[in-house]
Amino acid sequence: MAPRRTIPHYRQQSSFNLIALIVAIGVNVMANIGTLNGATTGEISAQYPNLFTPAGITFSIWSVIYLALLGFAGYQLWLAFSKGHEAELDAFQVRMKGWFLLNCLGNACWLFAWHYRAITLSLFFMLIILYSLAAIHRNFQIAHPGAGRKEKLFIHLPFGLYFGWISIATLANLTAWTVALGFNGIPPVAWTLAMMMIGLLVALFMILRYNNIYFGLVNVWAFYGIVLKREAEGGRESAPIIAAATVVIALLALALILQILRKRGQPG
């Protein structure tokens, strides 16, 4: 039986999670209409040109992520305020703790740091976002079998997608940071290929070890965005990046197919 004396606290925590998400979405809206320090997020990105940044259309994934996170926020409020779900609510809050609040705070702070050109600080906040998602992934065992349908839809899906995108965004932020510092010790093509290799290895690990199909799908989308950007800009440096990204997409697609077939072959 759930410790009912904690239910009011859990309800408060669920409400704070919703407020934090709304604040994060609000700051993102400000950032993308140019009211945050007079420029959009994409315009700031263009000030740190590199070969790893994907095409602008790729960032539309945020709409999917935020829609899924709103579903998550609604689900945890339903657990908190509907009768008969005290045990589920207790299990949820014990696992979530304050990680989602930290994530939303990091998200909003990242935007302010990015838009005020504090790129080193933005990388710090990006790592906070990444770490909080890793903690949520671990605590909820995202994408592992055994979870109920609601948990898969309202927790595994949003945080699987979010974690996948932030893994690539962290590499992009790191790349922009090196540009901001004027670091030129590694040729841009070699650096980009290295970032792509890291992204590939992380995605393959998440797909094959943790069964996180959502993570892999978002990574395919991100690398496709890199192909689109390089095709649009052209140039001698783009050819090896396009070729490498195409190979990465093919490897990720193969891993996704193999993992899906493996899941179908498992009993139950």
Which pLDDT score is estimated for 265? Answer: 67
- pLDDT > 90? residue 5: no
When pLDDT is averaged across residues 211-233 and rounded to a whole number, the result is: 97
Confidence of residue 260 (pLDDT cuts 50, 70, 90): very high
Which pLDDT score is estimated for 268? Answer: 47
Interatomic CA distance for residues 14 and 194, integer angstroms = 40
Which pLDDT score is estimated for 267? Answer: 53
CA distances from 21 to 24, 88, 132, 165 (A): 5, 22, 14, 17
Interatomic CA distance for residues 130 and 80, integer angstroms = 27
Interatomic CA distance for residues 172 and 162, integer angstroms = 15
Q: HSE, CB side, 13 Å, CA atoms: give it for residue 107.
A: 26
Burial of 257 (0-12, 13-18, 19+ CB in 10 A): exposed
Which phi and psi (to 5°) does residue 254 adopt? Answer: -65, -45
**Residue with the larger pLDDT of the pair 3 and 260:** 260
- pLDDT > 60? residue 1: no
Widest CA span in the chain:
65
